[in-house]
Amino acid sequence: MKENELWYGYLEAGPKSTAVLLDRQLETGNPSTMYLFNLSKCEILEYSREVAEPKLRALASGEGVLVERLTAAYGRARAEFQPRGTWAASVPERRRRPSRESVPLVLVEEDAELNEREESEDDLGNDVEGYEDT
């Protein structure tokens, strides 16, 4: 991961203020929202850009210890996180069974012939008259 993909900052929101990390690789799929890792909750949360961006500031030089804490905690949270919308991409497409009409006619005829042959072979062994087990 490149260093410039991560931004370390602080969300100043009164009693809910916390250190945050912005991973520019994580997209919400909605241009009016963004994902931020919230250190207080140790979760990646979706925030409204309109509300959050004015409250964000970069970490000051004296807050370097927060960078280490953010990096470590974000690594754990990121391992379990799936951005919204990605779950559908991981679900395999549902396969439909072919209907009888979609099966080529040749195959249907071959199956009918095979069944007839199997039935006639079964009849050969059972229709012998006068045969007795000794």
- Tell me 130's DSSP state: T
What are the structure tokens assigned to 75, written together?
């690594």
Is the pLDDT assigned to residue 84 strictly greater than 90?
A: no
101-129 tens-digit pLDDT? 555 555 555 555 666 665 655 555 555 55
Q: In whole angstroms, what is the distance from residue 12 CA to residue 5 CA? A: 22
Q: In whole angstroms, what is the distance from residue 55 CA to residue 66 CA? A: 18
pLDDT band for position 83 (50/70/90)?
confident
Is the pLDDT assigned to residue 100 strictly greater than 80?
A: no
The mean pLDDT value of the chain amounts to 79
pTM above 0.75, yes or no: no
